[in-house]
Amino acid sequence: MLKVLAVIKVPGCYHDRMPAARAEAVRQLVEVGRRFDARGWVLGTSGNFSVVSGRDPLRLTITASGLFKGQLTPDQFLEIDDGCAVVEGTSGKPSAEAQLHVEIVRLRPAGAVLHTHSIFSTLVSDIRGSDRGLHVTGYEMLKGLDGVTTHEHREFIPILENDQNMPRLAAKVREALTTHPQCHAFLLRRHGLYTWGRTLMDAVRHVEILEFLLEAVGRAGEVAIYRAASTPRLSALDAVDQAQEA
Amino acid sequence: MLKVLAVIKVPGCYHDRMPAARAEAVRQLVEVGRRFDARGWVLGTSGNFSVVSGRDPLRLTITASGLFKGQLTPDQFLEIDDGCAVVEGTSGKPSAEAQLHVEIVRLRPAGAVLHTHSIFSTLVSDIRGSDRGLHVTGYEMLKGLDGVTTHEHREFIPILENDQNMPRLAAKVREALTTHPQCHAFLLRRHGLYTWGRTLMDAVRHVEILEFLLEAVGRAGEVAIYRAASTPRLSALDAVDQAQEA
Amino acid sequence: MLKVLAVIKVPGCYHDRMPAARAEAVRQLVEVGRRFDARGWVLGTSGNFSVVSGRDPLRLTITASGLFKGQLTPDQFLEIDDGCAVVEGTSGKPSAEAQLHVEIVRLRPAGAVLHTHSIFSTLVSDIRGSDRGLHVTGYEMLKGLDGVTTHEHREFIPILENDQNMPRLAAKVREALTTHPQCHAFLLRRHGLYTWGRTLMDAVRHVEILEFLLEAVGRAGEVAIYRAASTPRLSALDAVDQAQEA
Amino acid sequence: MLKVLAVIKVPGCYHDRMPAARAEAVRQLVEVGRRFDARGWVLGTSGNFSVVSGRDPLRLTITASGLFKGQLTPDQFLEIDDGCAVVEGTSGKPSAEAQLHVEIVRLRPAGAVLHTHSIFSTLVSDIRGSDRGLHVTGYEMLKGLDGVTTHEHREFIPILENDQNMPRLAAKVREALTTHPQCHAFLLRRHGLYTWGRTLMDAVRHVEILEFLLEAVGRAGEVAIYRAASTPRLSALDAVDQAQEA
C-alpha cells in the first residue's frame, strides 16, 4: 500500500533488521520530520508520525515518544499492534497518542497518519473550538485534498476538545470520523492537526495544504481589519484614473 | 531566448534525451522549485512553472501535475504544444493550468511563466477581489519589474475570479492581458500569483518582487492599526527633545 | 549529568585541550547555536548558552561575549567558576549575563541554561511586563515542560524589569526563582527568555516549547480580533446546513 | 581596517586577480548575501553591499547592479572611486545607490555599508515617514549597536523620502548624518534600511539588530491591540489565585 516520495534521499540510515518496505517508509518519515521541523510545525518534541506496516493483523510503525522530529533515526521507530503494544523495536515507548493513529487507520483507508503542531493550527483550533469545527471553502488549495476537484468544495474540519484520557479522546475521534465521513483531518483544541492519506506522500500533501489553509483563515481577519482601516488611504491611490493602464 | 540564472547548480540531473538548452532550463526550474518551496510559496503540490522551449511552432516545457515543487526531477517535466498536447515526456499529464501558460506566452514576449501560491497573495487576492484588481505604488521594490525605473510607477495587478473551467479562465486571462497591456502579473482570487519574464531569471525576480509587495500591502493594515492604537505610547517617547541627537 | 542530543554531528571541531565530556557539550552547543540562529532567535550577537561542566566546585562552560551564535567555534567558549572568573579558555570575556546563569544553576537542578531573544518573547515580555508575569494554560505544548503531564497545567512565567546592574538583576532572578519554585523559565522585559533543563536536551526542548507558547499568546489577539471582525462573513459560510457533511 | 567574520567559508571562489584582503572581503560579502537572502531581506535583486578597500584614495568594493544577493560570485563585485567610477571589475555597472555608500563612508569611520530591504523596514519607514524618523528605546537589543551600553539608550533612526535623483538623495543622506552624528542607520521611505560598521562584522550585526528592532516596533501594535481585545479572557485565567505557584 505504501508508495514512496519520489526523490527523498536519507543517506546511510538503512536498518538491517527491518524488512525493506518498512525501512524505506522509516527513511521517508525521517525526511518528513526534517521538513516539518524546518517549517516550525513540530517544535520541542511535539508531533508524531506513523505508517501502516501491516493490515492483517494491523501493524503501525510509529515514532517513539519524546523525540525531536528534525533529528529522527531509524531505531527511534516502534512497530505496534492494534492495542498499541510494541511488537518490534526497543526505543522507549510509543507516542502517547498512538491510540488515535490506530483509530484513524481503522476508520479510513489510510496508509499514513501525521500529526503536526503549528502556531496557526493551535490558534484556529482555539478560537473556533466552541463551534466544534470550521468550514473552509473557496480556496484553490482545497483541490490538493484527496478526491476534491474544485475550490468550491466545502471542507469541514472537526475540532475536538483536548483530553489526556486517551480512550476517551479516541472515542471522540471515532465519533468525529463517523459523523463526518468525508473529512480529511481534525483538530484537537489548542493542540494541533491530525491528517492522513492513502500513501505517506498523500498525508504529507494534506499536512501542507491544511496548514496553509489554517494560516490563511487565521490571518484573514488581520487583512479584513486592514481593509476597514486603510480604505481611505488606498482609495485615494485607486481613484487615479485606470484609463492609463488600458 | 533563455538566459541562465548565473550560479544555479543542480548536481547530477542531466537528462540524456533532452537538447542541451532545454536540459539547462529544466535544471534551473528544479532549483527554482527548491527556492520557492523553502519560502513556503508552493506548499502541497501547488504552483506550476514553464519555459518556452520553442516559438515556431510554440513549445512549452512545463511541470507535470501533482508534484512537490521542492523535489522536482528532470523527468517530471513535459513538453507541450499550443493546444496543451504532450509532444515530449512520459511523466503524467501537464498541469491543469497549462492553458493559462500558453495564453500568457502568446500575448507577452515571455520566455518563462511562474505560478506561486503564497499566503499573502491568497489573502490580498481575496480582500481586494471585488475591486477586480489593485494598484501598487510608491515602493522602491517596483523598480525590479521589467521596464520600471521609479518607485512612483503605478502597477495595476488584475484579480480574476477563480474558475475550474479552463477555457473560460483562459479567456479571462486573455481579456485581462489585453485590457492591461503594461501589467507584469495577475492574481487568481484565493488561488495565487501568475507572473512571467523575458528570461527565467526575469520571471523569478518578478515572483520575488510581487510576493514582497503583496505581503507589504497585506501587512500594511496591521501597522496602520498599530499607529492608531499605539500613538499615545510612542508619542510619549518621541516627545523627548530631539535636540540631544543633534 | 550531561546527556547528548542523539544525532547532532558537528564535523571537525574537536578540541584537544578539553576533556571529552566538555568537548562533547561544546560541540552540541555549537549545533544549538546554528539551530536557534536559523529560527531567528539569536539575531545580531544576542543570546547566550551554558552547560554545567562541574558541580564541586561549580564550573560553567559558557559562550564568550559578543559572538554570532550561528557560527560558534569550540574555542569561543570559556569555563568560569561561581564568581564568573574565567578558569579555562582565552577567547575574550564571558557573557555579561554569566552571573544569571550561575544564579540559575545554584537554585535549580539544571545541567544547561539557554537564553534566547526572539521577537515574540520580547513583545510579550513588554506588554505583560507591568503584571510582572503571565500565566499560560490550556495548551498541549505545556506537556513538554519537565514534570508537566497535562495541558491543564498552569505555568507562571515571571517577567523581571531589565537592568544593566548585574548583581541587582541577579538578585531579582534569585527572588523570582525562590518565589516561584515550580517555574521553568523567566522573561527579562524587552530582553528575552531564560530557561534551563537537567540536560542540554531538556533545555533545548524548553526553549522551543516556550518560544512556541509566547508566539501563540502574542498572536492570539490578532485571531481574537479576526473573530470579531469577520464573524458575519464566516457565519454566512457556516450557515450552510452541516447535514451534507454527515 | 577589515576584520574577518570568524568561520565564514565560501568554497572555491578565490579570485586570482584580486589582492588577498579584497578577495577575503568579497568572499565574506558572498556569504552575507546568502545569509540575508535566507532571511528574506534581499528579495528580487534588492539590497546592495560594499566594503572600503582603500582610504587614500577612497576605494569601495561594491555589488554590481541587478543581481540576486543569495547567489553572488566574486566577479560580480566592482571597485569604484569616490566619484562612483569603476576602477576595477568588468561585471556590469555599480548599484544605482553607490553614491549613498560613498556618502556614508565619507562621514562615518565605516569599513562596510549594507543595505537591506525587508518587509518590516519598508512598513515602518512608511508609517513613521511623515515624522521624518523614529526613536527606539528600552530594548536590550540596542546594546548590539556600536558604543551603546544600556537598553535605556535612545536611538534615533532618520527616515528620508525616497528619490530617484541620486545627487539629491545623497545630499539628504549627508544632511541626516550631519544632523544626527550619533545615528547608526537611516531608512529610505518605502525602500529599506542602510547601516554600516567599522568592520563588515559590525555592519552585519547592525543589520540584524536593526531589522529585529524594526520588526518588534512594527509588530508592537498588534500585541497592543491584543491586550485591549483579550484582557477579559486572559484576566479570567489570571484571576486564579497565584498562591499555588508560590
What is the DSSP secondary structure assignment for residue C37, as one 8-state letter?
H
Give the pLDDT of residue B51: 97
**Which helix (H) or strand (E) segment is D214 a member of?**
helix D200-238
Per the model's pLDDT, the better-predicted residue between C210 and D244 turns out to be C210
Identify any residues that bridge with C157 across adjacent strands, giving them in sequence order: C134
Q: Do A192 and C140 touch (CB under 8 A)?
A: yes
B37 vs B32: CA distance, rounded Å? 8
B52-79 burial code (b ≥16 CB/10 A, e <16): bbeeeeebbbbbbbbbbbbbbebbbbbb
With beta carbons less than 8 A apart as the criterion, state whether A152 and A143 touch: no
In this complex, is the C-beta atom of C117 within 8 Å of any C-beta atom belonging to chain D?
A: yes
In this complex, is the C-beta atom of B65 within 8 Å of any C-beta atom belonging to chain A?
A: no
Collect all residues of chain C within an 8 Å Cβ-Cβ radius of residue A221: 222-223, 225-227, 229-230
Cell numbers standing for residue A88: 518490534
Interface test with B, best of A41, A140, A238 (most B CBs within 10 A): A140
**Residues 148-167 in B contacting A (C-alpha not used; CB under 8 Å):** 154, 156, 162, 164
Q: Do D212 and C131 touch (CB under 8 A)?
A: no
Interface test with D, best of B116, B119, B120, B141 (most D CBs within 10 A): B141
Closest CA in chain D for residue C177 = D246
C112 vs C200: CA distance, rounded Å? 5
Q: Do A139 and B192 touch (CB under 8 A)?
A: no
By residue count, chain C amounts to: 246
In this complex, is the C-beta atom of A68 within 8 Å of any C-beta atom belonging to chain C?
A: yes
Q: Do B226 and D225 touch (CB under 8 A)?
A: yes
Inform me whether the pLDDT recorded for D245 exceeds 70. no
Q: Do D44 and B246 touch (CB under 8 A)?
A: no
Q: Do D141 and C117 touch (CB under 8 A)?
A: yes
In this complex, is the C-beta atom of C182 within 8 Å of any C-beta atom belonging to chain D?
A: yes
Q: Do D71 and B8 touch (CB under 8 A)?
A: yes
Question: Of B86, B87, B59, B91, whose CA–CA distance to B74 is shortest?
Answer: B91
**Which helix (H) or strand (E) segment is B63 a member of?**
strand B58-63
In this prediction, the residues of chain C whose per-residue pLDDT falls under 50 are 1-16, 222-246
In whole angstroms, how large is the CA radius of gyration of chain C? 20
Angle formed at CA A91 by CA A89 and CA A95, multiple of 5 degrees: 95
Residue type, D162: N
Give the pLDDT of residue C221: 54
Give the pLDDT of residue A41: 98
What is the DSSP secondary structure assignment for residue A135, as one 8-state letter?
E
**Interval B181-225: pLDDT, tens:** 999 999 999 999 999 999 999 999 999 999 999 999 888 754 444
With beta carbons less than 8 A apart as the criterion, state whether B202 and B172 touch: no
Give the pLDDT of residue A3: 31
With beta carbons less than 8 A apart as the criterion, state whether D116 and B220 touch: no
Which residue carries 479522546 as its cell?
A: A169
B205 vs B187: CA distance, rounded Å? 17
pLDDT-derived band at D6, boundaries 50, 70, 90: very low
Picking from C6, C39, C225, the nearest residue to A73 by CB comes out as: C6
| DSSP assignment string, A31-94 | HHHHHHHHTTSS-TT--EEEEEEEETTEEEEEEBSS--GGG--GGGEEEE-TT--EEE--SS-B
Which chains contact D through at least 3 pairs of Cβ atoms less than 8 Å apart?
B, C
Cell numbers standing for residue D101: 555608500
Inform me whether the pLDDT recorded for B15 exceeds 70. no
A105 vs C160: CA distance, rounded Å? 48
Cell numbers standing for residue D28: 565574506
Picking from C140, C229, C242, the nearest residue to A190 by CB comes out as: C140
Give the pLDDT of residue C90: 82
Collect all residues of chain D within an 8 Å Cβ-Cβ radius of residue B8: 71
**Interval A228-243: pLDDT, tens:** 444 333 332 333 333 3
Per the model's pLDDT, the better-predicted residue between B7 and B125 turns out to be B125
Q: Do D191 and B227 touch (CB under 8 A)?
A: no
With beta carbons less than 8 A apart as the criterion, state whether B118 and B41 touch: yes
**Interval D84-102: pLDDT, tens:** 999 998 878 998 899 999 9
> Closest approach of chain A CAs to the CA of B45, in angstroms?
7
Please give the C-alpha separations between residue A210 and each of A62, A139, A144, in angstroms, as whole numbers: 22, 11, 9
Collect all residues of chain D within an 8 Å Cβ-Cβ radius of residue B222: 218-219, 221-222
With beta carbons less than 8 A apart as the criterion, state whether A172 and A161 touch: yes
In this complex, is the C-beta atom of A239 within 8 Å of any C-beta atom belonging to chain B?
A: no
Task: Give Cβ neighbours of residue B239 (< 8 Å, ≥ 6 apart).
Answer: none
D157 vs B205: CA distance, rounded Å? 30
CB pairs under 8 A between C and D: 116
Collect all residues of chain C within an 8 Å Cβ-Cβ radius of residue A122: 139, 141, 216
The burial class, CB within 10 Å (0-12 / 13-18 / 19+), for D159 is: buried
In this complex, is the C-beta atom of C21 within 8 Å of any C-beta atom belonging to chain A?
A: no
Cell numbers standing for residue A151: 475550490
Q: Do A156 and C245 touch (CB under 8 A)?
A: yes
C126 vs C130: CA distance, rounded Å? 8
Cell numbers standing for residue C121: 518573547
> What is the bridge-based pairing of β-strands D77-80 and B112-116?
unpaired
Full pLDDT tens readout for chain A, 246 residues:
233 333 333 333 334 457 888 999 999 999 999 999 999 999 999 999 999 999 999 999 999 999 999 999 999 999 999 999 999 988 789 988 999 999 999 999 999 999 999 999 999 999 888 889 999 999 999 999 999 999 999 999 999 999 999 999 999 999 999 999 999 999 999 999 999 999 999 999 999 999 999 999 988 755 444 444 443 333 323 333 333 343
Phi, psi of D175, deg, nearest 5: -65, -45
Per the model's pLDDT, the better-predicted residue between C80 and B226 turns out to be C80
Q: Report the half-sphere exposure of B93 (CA within 13 A, side-chain side).
A: 7
Closest CA in chain D for residue C118 = D212
Edge-first strand listing for the sheet containing A77-80: A86-88, A77-80, A58-63, A48-55, A112-116, A192-197, A185-188, A154-160, A133-137
Please give the C-alpha separations between residue D38 and each of A174, A204, C39, C237, D42, in angstroms, as whole numbers: 43, 24, 11, 38, 9
Q: What is the mean pLDDT of residues B12-23?
A: 63
| DSSP assignment string, D72-141 | --GGGEEEE-TT--EEE--SS-B-TTHHHHHHHHHHS--SEEEEE--HHHHHHHHHTGGGTEEEEES-GG
Collect all residues of chain D within an 8 Å Cβ-Cβ radius of residue B151: 162, 164, 190-191
Collect all residues of chain B within an 8 Å Cβ-Cβ radius of residue D115: none
A210 vs A217: CA distance, rounded Å? 10
Give the pLDDT of residue C145: 98
> Closest approach of chain A CAs to the CA of C219, in angstroms?
8
Q: Do D238 and C180 touch (CB under 8 A)?
A: no
What is the DSSP secondary structure assignment for residue B51, as one 8-state letter?
E
Interface test with D, best of B3, B223, B225, B244 (most D CBs within 10 A): B223
> Closest approach of chain D CAs to the CA of B132, in angstroms?
25
Interface test with B, best of D45, D100, D178 (most B CBs within 10 A): D45
Peptide linkage before D57 cis (omega within 30 of 0): yes
**Interval D48-59: pLDDT, tens:** 999 999 999 999
Please give the C-alpha separations between residue B221 and each of A207, B218, B228, D78, D126, in angstroms, as whole numbers: 29, 7, 11, 40, 12
Give the pLDDT of residue B17: 56
pLDDT-derived band at D9, boundaries 50, 70, 90: very low
In this complex, is the C-beta atom of B139 within 8 Å of any C-beta atom belonging to chain D?
A: yes
Q: Do D127 and B209 touch (CB under 8 A)?
A: no
A226 vs A238: CA distance, rounded Å? 16
In whole angstroms, how large is the CA radius of gyration of chain A? 20
**Interval B45-83: pLDDT, tens:** 999 999 999 999 999 999 999 999 999 999 999 999 999
Q: Do D162 and B151 touch (CB under 8 A)?
A: yes
Which chains contact A through at least 3 pairs of Cβ atoms less than 8 Å apart?
B, C
Q: Hey, how many other C-beta atoms are within 10 angstroms of the C-beta on C14?
A: 13
Collect all residues of chain A within an 8 Å Cβ-Cβ radius of residue B135: 237-238, 240
Give the pLDDT of residue D17: 57
Please, what sign has the CA dihedral across residues C139, C145, C149, C153?
negative
Per the model's pLDDT, the better-predicted residue between D14 and C186 turns out to be C186
The predicted model scores a pTM of 0.88
Picking from D151, D205, D223, the nearest residue to C218 by CB comes out as: D223
Picking from A144, A209, A224, the nearest residue to B127 by CB comes out as: A224
Q: Do D151 and C124 touch (CB under 8 A)?
A: no
The residue ranges of DSSP E strands in A100-239, in sequence order, are 112-116, 133-137, 154-160, 185-188, 192-197
Picking from B209, B216, B237, the nearest residue to D119 by CB comes out as: B216
With beta carbons less than 8 A apart as the criterion, state whether D71 and B7 touch: yes
Which residue carries 518496505 as its cell?
A: A21
